[in-house]
Amino acid sequence: MFEFPKFSKSSVKNDVLSGLTVSLALVPEAVAFAFVAGVDPMVGLYAAFMVGLVTAVFGGRPGMISGATGAMAVVMVSLVAEHGVQYLFAAVLLAGLVQILFGVFHLGKFIRMVPHSVMIGFVNGLAIVIFLAQLGQFKVKNAAGQFEWLQGSPLYIMLALVLLTMVIIHFLPKLTTAVPSTLAAIVIVTLLVYFIPAIDTRTVVDFLRTMSGNENATIAGSLPTFAFPAVPFSMQTLQIVLPYSLILAAVGLIESLLTLTVVDEMTNTRGRANKECIAQGASNMVNGVFGGMGGCAMIGQSMININSGGRGRLSGITAALGLLAFILFASGLIEIVPLAALVGVMFIVVLGTFEWASFKMMRNVPKKDAFVIVLVSAVTVFTDLAIAVFVGVIVSALVFAWEHARHIHAVSEVSEDGKEKTYSVNGPLFFGSVSNFLELFDVKNDPHHVIVDFATSRVVDHSAIEAISVLTDRYVREGKKVHIRHLSRDCRKLLHKAGVLVEINLIEDPSYKVASDTLG
């Protein structure tokens, strides 16, 4: 698995300081994703606060940070453009309900079935996405209202401050661990820019005003207020929001559960997937009635939190309450933070998130796994996370089926009197192996009684049942009889329901289980 360092247990000091660090990094992310979704920046900031607080208190993975995310924001764009923000709130409310049901029915356990190669592709793809997103901070609007790259002194100052931030984050822990190096870097760079006027660089408020086109824009606001989405409660409304709600629920859960798995590996602990599903759903339902755009787990901010020493629920609670405090009381403080400091923090996150060992791994793992890693990474970058994971799982499943389709074989033995022939089948019988299975038998030359022994095999699906039926018909047409032995109880039920008339020896094999609710 991932070769992440192991950390000591959380403490109140580490949780509070790491939470404050995360709250600083949440602001530009929430604002940016709000603009992606086509909603007011406060809608993104409220979402980051509410999702972060609810999941921190009730979620199944202490230390994981949730908030407004780009993966979900992309899904919202067309809904907001066509029907308005109130329909977005309704869709988020319904998506939250779907996520709660997902957790209630213990479906979160199936995240464990995501192949390791897909997981590596997931983190590598997200690292690339986070890196590309930061490049937008190196652009400014020109007189024509178009974005162009920084040049000259502004570019050099930006790069120098980014590098300084990264150097502080990397080397400060070698001197002291009293304060999270990420928080120290942000504070030092902010003070440097504030007290040295010659260092002219863009800040958080400059970013907000550039994105909104409003020279008076600010992150200052009030508490979110309760209100049901102002949409007609009708079948027409349901038809509009349901498709978006299902996609939002799926994207949110996939990103959250995969991030949960990554944090599990980093901390050498185990989160509870079903509990996290319920908490994510509850947070999105709260967003739907308090004017937030919804959200899910954020791997970048979670990495910042873990690397800063945050392990307990207090870190996520502090991040959410810190963000709210900035909105209500201290907007002026967060608005003077240089964008370069936050870009430097995210570049460190990229370096820590990307699985660099995967380059070496490519030479040692099977080619199919290397292909899946590259495929999932590429699809994550060019489309979105949900599609990437689905593609990765499907490709892995198909490769697995193809490999195991070639594993089926049989050992035949004829009785001393020559009246019976036994085929001992080895390997799974499923849709991919039925052709090879049927080629194992010499129907014309076999004796009158043929025994097919499944003691070391397993009938998996309907295609396998159909293959047994075809085999039986072939022997019947030759006036011969087939006996099936050592078939599992569930396989016998499948045969009985399918109406396959063969003689079955009632010898049971072990009970097979794929997933368990024990750790859900």
- Average pLDDT of the chain to the nearest whole number: 86
**Tokens encoding 49:** 């606060």
State the Cα–Cα distance between residues 115 and 102, nearest whole angstrom.
21
Report the amino acid identity of residue 216. N
Q: Has residue 136 got a pLDDT over 80?
A: yes
Contact call for residues 419 and 449 (beta carbons, < 8 A): yes
Q: Are residues 426 and 330 in the same domain?
A: no
Indicate whether 10 pLDDT > 60: no
pLDDT digits (tens, 9 = 90+) for 178-215: 888 888 999 999 999 999 989 999 998 888 888 777 88
343 in Cβ contact with 25 (< 8 Å) = no
3-state secondary structure string, 465-510? HHHHHHHHHHHHHCCCEEEEECCCHHHHHHHHHHCCCCEECCCCCC
The reported pTM is: 0.75
pLDDT over threshold 50, residue 512: no
pLDDT digits (tens, 9 = 90+) for 348-387: 888 888 888 888 878 788 888 889 999 999 998 887 777 8
117 and 263 co-located in one domain: yes
- Tens of pLDDT, residue by residue over 334-347, are 889 999 998 998 89
Average pLDDT over residues 413-433: 89
Average pLDDT over residues 125-134: 85
Residue 394 counted as domain residue:
no
Query: Does the pLDDT value for residue 515 go beyond 50?
Result: no
Given a contact cutoff of 8 angstroms between Cβ atoms, the answer to whether 128 and 377 are in contact is yes
345 and 466, same domain (yes or no): no
Local structure of 94: helix, strand or coil: helix
pLDDT for the residue numbered 130: 82
Residues 225, 276, single domain; the answer is: yes
Mean pLDDT value of segment 272-295 = 95
Nearest-Å Rg of the Cα atoms of the chain is 29
Whether 494 and 410 map to the same domain: the answer is yes
From the list 70, 24, 37, 84, the residue with the least C-alpha distance to 320 is 24
Structure confidence at residue 494 as a pLDDT band (50, 70, 90): low
- Give yes or no: residues 102 and 209 share one domain: yes
- Pick the closest to residue 50 from 444, 258, 320, 342 (CA basis): 320
Range scoring the smallest mean pLDDT among 283-297, 325-339, 419-433, 501-515: 501-515
Token pair listed for 368: 């199919």
How far lies 61's CA from each of 180, 463, 501, in Å?
21, 40, 51
pLDDT band at 493 (very low <50, low <70, confident <90, very high): low
Cα(316)–Cα(263) distance, integer angstroms: 14
Q: Is the pLDDT of residue 284 over 50?
A: yes
462 CB-near residues (< 8 Å, 6+ apart): 494, 498
Strand partners, 459: 429
CATH number for the domain spanning 426: value is 3.30.750.24
DSSP string, 251-295: HHHHHHHHHHHHHHHHHT----HHHHHHHHHHHHHHHHHHT----
Q: Are residues 279 and 132 part of one domain? A: yes
| Residue 3: predicted pLDDT | 43
Whether residue 155 is contained in a domain is answered as yes
Domain for residue 509, yes or no?
Answer: no
The residue among 490 and 353 whose pLDDT is bigger is 353
Angle between helices 385-405 and 367-382 (to 10 degrees): 160
Task: pLDDT band for 456, please (50, 70, 90 cuts).
Answer: confident
Question: Is 322 in the same domain as 446?
Answer: no
Among 348, 363, 378, identify where a domain stops: 363
pLDDT: is 79 or 503 the higher one? 79
Number of domains observed in the structure of the chain: 2
Query: Of 363, 393, 425, at which residue does a domain stop?
Result: 363
252-273 burial: b if 16+ Cβ within 10 Å, else e: bbbbbbbbbbbbbebbeeebbb
Residue 498 has pLDDT above 80, yes or no: no
> Cα dist. 175→168, 169, 181 in Å?
10, 11, 10
* Helical (H) or strand (E) element with 456: strand 449-459
pLDDT over 90 percentage in the chain: 42
Task: Kindly state whether residue 511 falls inside one of the protein's structural domains.
Answer: no
* b/e map 142-155, b = 16+ CB within 10 Å: eeeeeeeebeeeee
In the three-class reduction of DSSP (H, G, I as helix; E, B as strand; rest coil), residue 197 is classed as coil
Beta bridge partners of 423: 412, 452
Confidence band for 63, pLDDT divided at 50, 70 and 90: very high
Of the candidates 514, 516, 504, the one whose C-alpha atom is nearest the C-alpha of residue 468 is: 504
Distance between alpha carbon 125 and the CA centroid of its chain, in Å? 11
pLDDT at 504: 47
pLDDT value for 8: 46
C-alpha pair distances (Å), 426 with each of 370, 409, 451: 29, 5, 14
Q: Given this model, what pLDDT does residue 57 score?
A: 95
Domain identity same for 19 and 79: yes
**In this predicted model, which residue has the larger pLDDT, 227 or 358?**
227
Q: Are residues 202 and 316 in the same domain?
A: yes
Pick the closest to residue 287 from 492, 34, 112 (CA basis). Answer: 34
Grouping H, G, I as helix, E, B as strand and the rest as coil, residue 247 is: helix
* Distant-in-sequence, close-in-space partners of 351: CB < 8 Å, separation ≥ 6: none
Q: Is pLDDT of 141 > 90?
A: no
pLDDT for the residue 499: 57
Q: Is residue 518 part of a domain?
A: no
* Domain annotation covers residue 246: yes
**Which pLDDT score is estimated for 490?**
66
Tell me whether residue 419 is in a domain.
Answer: yes
Residue-number span of the structural domain to which 231 is assigned: 13-363
Q: Is residue 31 pLDDT above 70, yes or no? A: yes
Q: 259 near 65, Cβ under 8 Å?
A: no
The Cα–Cα gap between 269 and 6 comes to 10
Q: What are phi and psi of 62, to 5 degrees?
A: -55, 140
Residue where a domain terminates, one of 310, 330, 363: 363
Listed residue (358, 411, 310) closest to 61, CA to CA = 310
Query: pLDDT value at position 511?
Result: 44
Q: Are residues 448 and 347 in the same domain?
A: no
- How far, in Å, CA of 304 to CA of 322, rounded? 15
- Verify that 129 and 230 share a domain, yes or no: yes
Please report the pLDDT score of residue 496 as a whole number. Answer: 66
Position 486, amino acid: H
The pLDDT-based confidence of 516 (bands split at 50, 70, 90) is: very low
Is 192 inside a domain boundary?
yes
Strand partners, 263: none
Q: What is the pLDDT of residues 142-188, one digit of tens each?
A: 877 788 999 999 999 999 999 999 999 999 988 887 888 888 999 99
Higher pLDDT, 32 or 480: 480
